[in-house]
């Protein structure tokens, strides 16, 4: 495996793939964690006399130029954090250049190898060397993540190296009990990882919007909560498999409901069997929070991805807060996986240092835990 330290970068131009996919609200960055996480590699390259062209993406523009997904605000923030000029499509000769959102070009994410390859060749003309550090995108077979790496001498950056080191600890004989807590909006995003992790973990706790598909599969009234009806049969199988494998499946016993999806909606706590048909579940209830926290604290290895409720609304943030707090009290390894989960714990007032490790990549870390080959890591020999 190549390492960044052994790559001779002095006087060279390095294409650095970063993950700068930060959350934005009205054009302002609400959490700059991914930019900060990219700094060690950028600074190291600059200190060693390289010039850098950074490639990154923001959101899912699907091959179209969408001004609201421009990396311009990221260039500005990067400039502030680095304390030096960042050239953003202005060709001002700075040592650091940030390209515009690579996903404005359809070929970046194309399923067609030739199309992606051609774009990678274009990108390769911009640099002498390639450093891959965009962990949040390594599960994607994209031109700048996968194809470009094979066209230039390459090495993983410090962030990717750190991420892989932590995830290895979770996959190679994790200390038990090993618990995984999953939340967030959609079951469909996580069905693969749930099925796969059932043969690896001792405890699986499920909250967030996705839990209502589980509750529906158990025949419960879920009112107007989020649900993916087509996945109910699959979820039934998951529940059966968990029982067969002796995995403790922790589901909420009470729910915080509201008549509408609104910050100002009045919250009410109901037992899971008493959801009215005209309300929706927006958080796990306090009894569930306590049970989830208890299950987490008994584990020696914990991985958490996805909020337990609509944490963006103060009245529905309690479940996520309690789970985050429990993670900080784990005696063992606790990993918060994912840019959104990381942003959630920071928004709730936790510090990065409260946790064992905060991964910058949700999808990527989940796929790593599933045991999948991740194209962006394979391309770097990892
Ligand atoms: P994901 O991107 O799948 O991790 O989902 C994160 C989003 O799920 C957050 O923006 C939460 O507000 C949302 N979420 C969590 N719980 C619920 C819920 N019960 N109903 C609707 N949305 C939820």
- pLDDT at 90 (0 to 100): 78
- pLDDT at 186 (0 to 100): 86
Across 330-341, average pLDDT: 90
Atom of ligand 1 nearest to the CA of 189: 3
C-alpha span between 157 and 134 (Å, rounded): 8
Q: Would the pLDDT of 149 be above 90?
A: yes
* Each residue's pLDDT tens digit, 273-320: 999 999 999 999 999 999 999 999 999 999 999 999 999 999 999 999
Q: Find the 251 Cα to ligand 1 centroid distance in Å.
A: 16
Contact 224, 275 (CB under 8 A): no
- pLDDT at 111 (0 to 100): 98
Nearest CA to ligand 1 atom 20: 209
**344 or 19, higher pLDDT:** 19
Binding site as annotated, residues = 19-21, 34, 57-60, 103, 140, 190, 281, 312, 338-341
- Tally of CB atoms within 10 A around 53: 16
- pLDDT at 11 (0 to 100): 97
**173 or 106, higher pLDDT:** 106
Secondary structure E strands in 26-137:
28-29, 51-55, 86-88, 96-98, 129-132
Atom of ligand 1 nearest to the CA of 311: 12
C-alpha span between 185 and 170 (Å, rounded): 24
Q: Which of 186, 220, 236, 298 is catalytic?
A: 186
286 to 1, 228, 319: CA distances (angstroms) = 48, 25, 7
Query: Residues for the chain: how many in total?
Result: 382
C-alpha span between 187 and 239 (Å, rounded): 13
- pLDDT at 308 (0 to 100): 97
Nearest CA to ligand 1 atom 17: 209
Contact 117, 106 (CB under 8 A): no
Q: Both ends of the chain: CA-CA distance in Å?
A: 7
Domains of the chain: 4-161 (3.40.50.1260), 173-370 (3.40.50.1260)
Across 146-163, average pLDDT: 98
Q: Ligand 1 pocket check: which of 23, 180, 183 to mutate, most ligand atoms within 8 Å of Cβ?
A: 183
Q: pTM of the full predicted structure? A: 0.90
Q: Would the pLDDT of 248 be above 70?
A: yes
Atom of ligand 1 nearest to the CA of 338: 4
- pLDDT at 343 (0 to 100): 86
- pLDDT at 173 (0 to 100): 87
Across 166-172, average pLDDT: 92
Ranking 110-114, 203-207, 255-259, 364-368 by mean pLDDT, the lowest is 364-368
**41 or 340, higher pLDDT:** 41
- pLDDT at 298 (0 to 100): 97
Ranking 141-145, 152-156, 182-186, 265-269 by mean pLDDT, the lowest is 182-186
- pLDDT at 106 (0 to 100): 98
Q: Find the 171 Cα to ligand 1 centroid distance in Å.
A: 27
Please confirm, yes or no, whether 77 is among the known catalytic residues.
no
Q: Would the pLDDT of 89 be above 90?
A: no
Q: Would the pLDDT of 93 be above 80?
A: no
- pLDDT at 263 (0 to 100): 97
Residue 342 burial by CB count (10 A; 0-12/13-18/19+): exposed, middle or buried?
A: buried
- pLDDT at 1 (0 to 100): 66
Nearest CA to ligand 1 atom 18: 209
Q: Would the pLDDT of 99 be above 70?
A: yes
Mean pLDDT of the chain: 95
Contact 270, 315 (CB under 8 A): no
CA angle 5/141/194 to nearest 5° reads 100
Q: Which residue has the tokens 């066209």?
A: 151
Protein residues with CB under 6 Å of any ligand 1 atom: 184-186, 189, 208-209, 226, 281-282, 306-307, 309-310, 312, 340
Q: Ligand 1 pocket check: which of 191, 212, 307 to mutate, most ligand atoms within 8 Å of Cβ?
A: 307
Ranking 149-163, 285-299, 365-379 by mean pLDDT, the lowest is 365-379
Across 55-64, average pLDDT: 97
C-alpha span between 117 and 108 (Å, rounded): 9
Across 3-32, average pLDDT: 96
Binding site as annotated, residues for ATP = 190, 281, 312, 338-341
Q: Which of 17, 34, 116, 297 is catalytic?
A: 34
322 to 212, 268, 286, 318: CA distances (angstroms) = 20, 18, 9, 6
């Amino acid at each position: 495996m190549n390492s960044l330290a052994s790559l001779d970068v002095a006087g060279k131009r390095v294409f650095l793939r970063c993950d700068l996919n930060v959350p934005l609200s009205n054009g302002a960055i609400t959490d700059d964690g991914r930019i900060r996480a990219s700094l060690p590699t950028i600074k190291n390259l600059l200190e060693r006399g390289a010039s850098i062209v950074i490639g990154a993406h923001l959101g899912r523009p699907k091959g179209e130029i969408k001004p609201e997904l421009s990396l311009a605000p990221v260039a500005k923030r990067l400039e502030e954090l680095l304390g030096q000029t960042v050239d953003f499509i202005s060709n001002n000769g700075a040592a650091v250049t940030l390209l515009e959102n690579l996903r404005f070009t359809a070929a970046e994410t194309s399923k067609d190898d030739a199309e992606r390859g051609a774009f990678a060749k274009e990108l390769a003309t911009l640099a002498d060397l390639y450093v891959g550090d965009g962990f949040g995108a390594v599960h994607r077979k994209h031109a700048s993540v996968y194809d470009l790496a094979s066209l230039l001498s390459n090495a993983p950056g410090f962030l990717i190296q750190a991420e892989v080191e932590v995830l290895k600890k979770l996959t190679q004989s994790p200390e038990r009990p090993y618990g995984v807590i999953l939340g967030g909006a959609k079951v469909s995003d996580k069905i693969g990882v749930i099925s796969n992790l059932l043969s690896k973990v001792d405890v699986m706790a499920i909250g967030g919007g996705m839990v209502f598909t589980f509750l529906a599969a158990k025949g419960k009234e879920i009112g107007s909560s989020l649900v993916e009806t087509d996945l109910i049969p699959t979820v039934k199988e998951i529940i059966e498999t968990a029982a067969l494998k002796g995995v403790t499946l922790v589901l909420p016993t009470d729910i915080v409901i509201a008549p509408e999806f609104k910050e100002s909606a009045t919250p009410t706590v109901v037992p899971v069997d008493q959801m009215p048909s005209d309300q929706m579940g927006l958080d796990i209830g306090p009894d569930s929070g306590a049970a989830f926290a208890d299950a987490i604290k008994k584990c020696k290895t914990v991985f958490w991805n996805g909020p337990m409720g609509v944490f963006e609304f103060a009245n529905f943030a309690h479940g996520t807060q309690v789970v985050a707090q429990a993670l900080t009290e784990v005696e063992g390894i606790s990993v918060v996986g994912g840019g959104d989960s990381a942003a959630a714990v920071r928004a709730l007032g936790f510090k990065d240092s409260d946790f064992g490790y905060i991964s910058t990549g949700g999808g990527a870390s989940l796929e790593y835990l599933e045991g999948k080959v991740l194209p962006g890591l394979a391309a770097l020999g990892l």
